[in-house]
Amino acid sequence: MDIGIFREVIQKMEIPCLILEGNVVRFANSSAEDTLKRKLLGECIEEEILQSRAPFLEWRSFEVDRYRVYLGFDVSEVYRLKGELEKRKEFFATATHEIRSATNSILGYLALYVDGEIKLAHKEELAEKAYSVALKLSALVNDLLDYVRIEEGLRELKLEPLKVNTLLHAIVEDLKGYAFRKNVELNVSSVAEHLRIIGDKKAFCRVMRNVLDNAIKFTSMKEKGEKRVTVSFAEDEKGMSIRVEDTGIGIEPEKLSHLFKVFSSYSPEGTGLGLVISKKLVELMQGKISIHSAGPDQGTTVELWFRRAEK
Ligand SMILES: Nc1ncnc2c1ncn2[C@@H]1O[C@H](COP(=O)(O)OP(=O)(O)OP(=O)(O)O)[C@@H](O)[C@H]1O
Ligand SMILES: [Mg+2]
């Protein structure tokens, strides 16, 4: 093929391209990196150099006329998919591991239970332990299914105006007993009666429940000092923020940035998927969620923001 025609075709296709005559670069397509062009001018091109300069371009070289031509193919999508695949493999490996350990521990308790040598008082304790792990396993499986459904885009939300006052009132009423048993004071400021946000009822309740459950759970774990959870609200022009502040065990700075990553952290009672799912749901409702803590024993604050529905 004539090199002139070749150039025209390549230029139209916008493929990064370098054409060498001896070791002089005669032509490089505009989309090839500038630094790459500069670096290579007058130098002998090594494919490794090309690769390290533009890692998402895979270079193929061949002869056209008496020229050596390098074409760079964009493989960034391949890299992205490889990354996704790795993440999924890791997710399923961890999920399977979690399910297997819970199942093994239930089996372990039940094996002891059916052992004829065990005394009656002990049996009750074993049954309770097996039951509590079974509850955790069931919560884990439900969370995993939810997470996968959200990730796959299968969780369709019905966005509609929601009366925050009514919904929060019901959730708080439900959690009052739990807070009381855990010795945590639960204070909720009043929300304007008329206030409506845009959200999906089930998703909103799920998020609020998890955030409040965390606040109560991790405050009750504090050894001394006051144990209080305060929920407050603020309106702005476009939305409404909900602030859940606790005086609990707080969070180490290095742990903070991992809390919204799957399986990055979990409490002995939980699955560690609560915040991950909450963030995904909040984002599907076009809201925001963030978590702050000054450090261990300094309490934690979760801030949520939702769009306001037109009046
Ligand atoms: N209010 C809080 N105070 C201290 N740590 C918190 C608080 N909220 C979340 N965390 C930390 O973030 C982690 C992740 O929270 P998340 O709700 O995802 O998991 P979990 O509560 O352990 O389990 P699950 O919600 O699935 O029952 C927790 O294990 C805990 O380490
Ligand atoms: Mg939780």
- The tens digit of pLDDT for each residue in 157-183 reads 999 999 998 999 999 999 999 999 999
- Dist. CA 275 → ligand 2 center (Å): 6
> Which residue has the least CA distance to atom 24 on ligand 1?
270
> What is the average pLDDT value for the chain, to the nearest integer?
85
In DSSP notation, 93-139 reads HHHHHHHHHHHHHHHHHHHHHH-TTS-HHHHHHHHHHHHHHHHHHHH
Q: How is domain 160-307 classified at the CATH fold level?
A: Heat Shock Protein 90 (3.30.565)
Query: Tokens for 165?
Result: 């006052």
Quote the tokens at residue 45. Answer: 């091109």
Angle at 179 between CA 177 and CA 185, to 5 degrees: 120
**Between 138 and 119, where is the model more confident?**
138
Helix or strand or coil: residue 26? strand
**How much is the pLDDT for 152?**
87
**Residue 86 near residue 76 (C-beta atoms within 8 A):** no
CA of 50 to the centre of ligand 2 (A): 48
Q: Name the residue of 137, 266, 289, 302 to mutate for ligand 1: max ligand atoms within 8 A of Cβ.
A: 266
Query: How many CA atoms lie within 13 Å of 129's alpha carbon, on the beta-carbon side?
Result: 17
CA angle 309, 310, 311 (to 5 degrees): 110
Which residue's alpha carbon is at the smallest distance from atom 17 of ligand 1?
Answer: 274
> Nearest bound ligand to CA 213?
2
pLDDT of residue 269: 67
Looking at residue 291, its amino acid is I
Question: 230 or 45: which carries more pLDDT confidence?
Answer: 230
Give the 3-state secondary structure of residue 231.
Answer: strand
With contact defined as beta carbons under 8 Å apart, do 161 and 293 qualify? Answer: no
Using CA positions, which residue lies closest to atom 12 of ligand 1? 259
Q: What is the pTM assigned to this prediction?
A: 0.77
The pair phi, psi for residue 186, each rounded to 5°, is: -115, 110
CB 258 within 8 A of CB 214: no
Q: Which of 259, 271, 281, 303 is the best mutation target for the ligand 1 pocket, counting ligand atoms within 8 Å of the beta carbon and taking the most?
A: 259
pLDDT of 17 = 74
- At position 57, the amino acid (one-letter code) is L
Q: How far is ligand 1, taken at its centre, from the CA of residue 147, in Å?
A: 16
Asked if the model's pLDDT at residue 111 lies above 80, the reply is yes
274 C-alpha to center of ligand 1: Å? 7
pLDDT of residue 193: 81
Q: For residue range 8-55, what is the model confidence (pLDDT) as tens digits?
A: 777 777 777 777 666 555 555 544 444 455 444 444 445 445 555 566
Q: 12 CA to middle of ligand 1, Å? A: 53
Q: With cut-offs at 50, 70 and 90, classify the pLDDT of residue 65.
A: confident
Phi and psi, residue 94, nearest 5°:
-65, -45
Count how many Cα atoms sit within 13 Å of the Cα of residue 118 in the half-sphere of its side chain.
15
> CB of 16 within 8 A of CB of 29?
yes
Q: Tell me if residue 226 falls in helix, strand or coil.
A: coil
- Burial (CB count <10 Å: 0-12, 13-18, 19+), residue 56: middle
Residue 306 pLDDT more than 50?
Answer: yes
User: Average of pLDDT values for 186-215?
Assistant: 93
Closest ligand to C-alpha of residue 252 is 1
Q: Within 10 A of 266 (CB to CB), how many other CB atoms are there?
A: 14
CA atoms within 13 A on the CB side of 293: 23
How far apart CA 256 and CA 268 sit, in angstroms, is: 18
Q: What is the mean pLDDT of residues 232-257?
A: 93
Q: What is the pLDDT of residue 52?
A: 53
How is the chain split into domains, by residue range? 3-74, 83-151, 160-307
Closest C-alpha residue for ligand 1 atom 9: 214
Q: How far is the CA of 301 from the centre of ligand 2 (A)?
A: 14
- Residue 53's pLDDT is 54
Per mean pLDDT, which range of 35-44, 83-92, 207-216, 286-295 is the poorest? 35-44
Average pLDDT over residues 78-103: 92
Domain 83-151 has CATH 2.60.34: no
What percent of the chain lies above the pLDDT cut of 70?
A: 86
Same fold, 83-151 and 160-307: no
Q: What is the largest CA-CA distance in the chain?
A: 92
d(CA 253, CA 245) in angstroms, rounded, equals: 17
Q: What is the radius of gyration, based on Cα positions, of the chain?
A: 29
Q: How many angstroms separate the alpha carbon of residue 212 from the centre of ligand 2?
A: 8
Ligand 1 pocket by Cβ (under 6 Å): 143, 210, 214-215, 218, 246, 248-249, 251, 259, 265-267, 270-275, 300
Q: What is the spatial distance between Cα 96 and Cα 201, in angstroms, rounded to a whole number?
A: 31
- CA 116 → CA 105, 120, 125, distances in Å? 19, 10, 15
